[in-house]
Chain A
């Protein structure tokens, strides 16, 4: 029987300590180095840690972090309860590592239909712990030391540190605002890439470009023409496309969400990322997925099996049932994918009106549940501090939550360090909120405006 080595090992050690040949304490090499790995350099700061804490401490109305304050739909909650309490208690045990079979099957069916392709659930779909982990797998699987990754600004903040952690070099290209016509309110469509500028960012070291459409934080929904420009460059330079499409169902005014993977030459080089959290208003479930060709997904699987291996079973079972319902109701008025954007569009319009009425200039988003507003007219409340390290909008947002109880996120949070002051008079609001919340936000804004005009 394999048993303790104990006493004899200890005895041996005591003897050896005194013998001439024993190397003395040799920890100096380690002592001079920090304990943490170099891959963590420069990625320890995180905007959310600070702003979530501020919102928790000061806010009465939280339009900051992106999550709904309304519940997931009943059919989804019911599916969850059925899964956890059903006769099959094996749903509390490990499922298939690359995705629970009922979930990958329905995702393959659903996205196969949307893409006009036959998808194999076992090789063209991989389930992840939220879209966040899907992004992580992509960078770890494809970005080596020295590889460049193009990131379009403003960007969901995790892209940059994830590229760095993989040893890659982020290369930024901005969306630039064009003045709207005739004094109308700006739309997210007015923020555009300069094709020549974009083309200049591609080099032989470019491994991938990250596309986020609909875009967080602006709400931009890239048009077919814009996607074709990106696709052409990807094909020309043999570059991968990591396509973050978590807000795919949240598009307004009859706009269409176009999947870049459906463009010529793109399926073979694109990983599509989706999220149950955003699709079904259940951000706390942390179920996401990747869809793509096996020759790319197989490497995501390798990262996944060496990092988390399995995702929680019960939520996957419930999301599978959610998708089964949506496949049956696809395009019909009762479909959640039809109802949710309809409701959110109303909320968007409500918030746009609220902000416009008090002099904050909203940029009308074509998609997502975020809205960015220009706060230039409110600058007098928060004086400029020359030579401040902190971007203006960040100081403004902190002042606003502490003094007005209204939480929002500064746009500079979505820019790289060097560009944080390029657009520093905008803040981002999340409008996936109950009517009462949006009304309370309006009350704060109205009161603020009154105080400004009648001090």
Chain B
């Protein structure tokens, strides 16, 4: 009998993934890796120390509360009560998940289904589209446009994308990959549309602390009429430079969070205990100094701002046009000025995919092609951009500098 066991419909076409392609290549140590978004700087020492302390406590190696370790949800409620200016119940308004990724999954599985439409702003963190599809829903894309490229007719597009089927909009601020920090006015427009159409807002705010001078991170959930329809997602990995701890959280009103909790209890039940306890302790330390510039939430941001400025300078000196981000730790760059002719390479791939592969082989520098973050209609518009990650130690940026300085010499 022929083997009939193929995959389910829900995962049809969701098997390919930009990271699988590019992280393997960048694993080669001779490549200067500014691609995947992970720090090569050390997490703060007190975070590692707290984890070491926890390992010695026997009961912290066994199961904890499914929806979130008590000391962690308490610490999160304290920090976010202060930020949001409202009471947050640690037991009913918070769910701890396996990274912000797990929060996105739990939210989408809990609240989105076949027949729903979900608005995704392009470019977008690549998992939004497959997760929406896996839930049986239809992604509806709205591109961010560069004002300098003209064309403000896209404003009408915003309004036209909302209809009675629009279950949710996914917002990402500060934004990956562009580094945009949505202003209060922009958030108000989105909020007005959500309220008008009774749409939910899934707000991915993993880079919430990483905003640079002159910018302020505003939580859409704090706008009038939005708390009751918003799930706000955060990440320990981005907050404390520990992406490998894979802890995130969803915060929102009980009547929404309870459904995320049902998904969680039927998918992985509980997150690792020792990491949650250590994270709770770290949050305790920084909560106490939230009025102090030494608080890690602010000191990391300052550290990254100088790396951002250095990265931008290096790229400009190499004749490139970086888009200076207002937040996050990514920078996108228009590489068309380099005029690298790749027309004889595989026609089917977008230009930026070809460019990055060429850059990895011939320049030993990696990045991520921006079209990976676009829906099918928009890939061509963004294919002259690539994304660099700059949460890297000085020696990595030094190595990148050498490559960029020598760029023109090699191509001459």
Contact = CB atoms under 8 A, between A and B. Distances in A.
B337 interface: no
**Most chain B beta carbons < 10 A, residue from A39, A162, A268, A283:** A39
A9 B271 contact: no
Nearest to A80: B55
A5 B190 CA distance: 11
Given A84-B51, A141-B8, A284 B262 contact: no
Interface string A59-90: 00000010111111000010011001100011
B111 A36 contact: yes
Interface string B168-188: 000000000010101101101
A84 B49 CA distance: 9
B113 A39 contact: yes
B225 to A, nearest CB: 13
A143 B8 contact: yes
Interface stretch (B241-249, B340-348, B349-357, B402-410): B241-249
Interface in B1-40: 1, 3-11, 14-15, 17, 19-20, 36, 38-40
A16 B55 CA distance: 59
A308 B259 contact: no
Interface in B30-69: 36, 38-40, 42-43, 48, 51-52, 55-56, 58-66
Contacts of B366: none
Given A1-B324, A92-B242, A162-B266, A10 B61 contact: no
A140 B10 contact: yes
Contact of B268 (A43, A89, A91, A130): A130
B146 A299 contact: no
Contact of A44 (B61, B134, B148, B262): B262
A286 B269 CA distance: 10
Interface stretch (A26-34, A390-398, A405-413, A416-424): A26-34
Given A35-B256, A129-B268, A295-B3, A308 B62 contact: no
B369 interface: no
B185 A306 contact: no
Contacts of A10: 185, 188-189, 192
A299 B155 contact: no
Contacts of A23: 163
Q: Is the interface of A mostly helix, strand, loop or mixed?
A: helix
A238 B189 contact: no
B146 A37 contact: no
B164 A28 contact: yes
Nearest to A77: B55
A312 interface: yes
Contacts of A188: none
Nearest to B134: A306
B92 interface: no
A89 B52 CA distance: 13
Interface stretch (B99-107, B206-214, B288-296, B298-306): B99-107
A314 B148 CA distance: 46
A92 B245 contact: yes
A93 B62 contact: no
B8 A308 contact: no
B140 interface: no
Given A37-B111, A46-B265, A303-B11, A13 B198 contact: no
A308 B3 contact: no
A72 B237 CA distance: 26
Contacts of A37: 109-113, 135, 259
Contacts of B275: 312, 314-315
B192 A2 contact: no
Contact of A302 (B7, B51, B131): B7
Nearest to A145: B9
A2 B268 contact: no
Interface residues of A, number: 98
A40 B259 contact: yes
B272 A286 contact: yes
A364 B317 CA distance: 76
Interface string B236-262: 010001111111000000011001001
Contacts of A70: 58
A136 B134 CA distance: 14
B156 interface: yes
Interface residues of B, number: 105
A165 B272 contact: no
Given A26-B164, A132-B269, A286-B272, A306 B1 contact: no
B63 A302 contact: no
Contacts of B180: 2-3
B320 interface: no
B266 A308 contact: no
Interface in A285-313: 285-286, 295-296, 298-299, 301-303, 305-313
Nearest to B197: A27
B267 interface: yes
B297 interface: no
A279 interface: no
Interface string B69-95: 000000000000000000000000000
B189 A136 contact: no
A111 interface: no
Contacts of B272: 129, 284-286, 312, 315
Contacts of B36: 94
Nearest to B181: A4
A440 interface: no
B127 interface: yes
B323 interface: yes
Contacts of A130: 268-270
A31 B198 contact: yes
Given A306-B105, A309-B127, A286 B270 contact: yes
A129 B98 contact: yes
Nearest to A28: B164
Contacts of B256: 35
A16 B159 contact: yes
Interface in B186-204: 186, 188-189, 192-193, 196-198, 200
B152 A29 contact: no
A269 B147 contact: no
B155 A77 contact: no
B267 A5 contact: no
A142 B5 contact: yes
A373 B387 CA distance: 61
Interface string A33-61: 00111111001101011001000000000
Contact of A84 (B5, B52, B155, B163): B52
22 contacts: A7-B185, A10-B189, A26-B163, A31-B198, A40-B259, A49-B265, A81-B55, A84-B51, A85-B48, A129-B271, A136-B267, A144-B8, A161-B266, A165-B266, A284-B270, A295-B3, A299-B8, A306-B105, A307-B267, A308-B99, A312-B245, A315-B275
Given A284-B270, A309-B101, 13 more contacts: A10-B185, A12-B156, A16-B159, A52-B65, A68-B62, A129-B271, A277-B63, A283-B62, A295-B3, A296-B5, A307-B101, A308-B99, A310-B99
In the A-B complex, the 3 residue pairs with the closest CB atoms? A284-B273, A27-B198, A313-B244
Interface of A: 1-10, 12-13, 16, 23, 25-31, 35-40, 43-44, 46, 48-49, 52, 65, 67-72, 77, 80-81, 84-85, 89-95, 97, 129-130, 132-133, 136, 140-144, 158, 161-162, 165-166, 207, 238, 240, 268-269, 277, 281-286, 295-296, 298-299, 301-303, 305-315
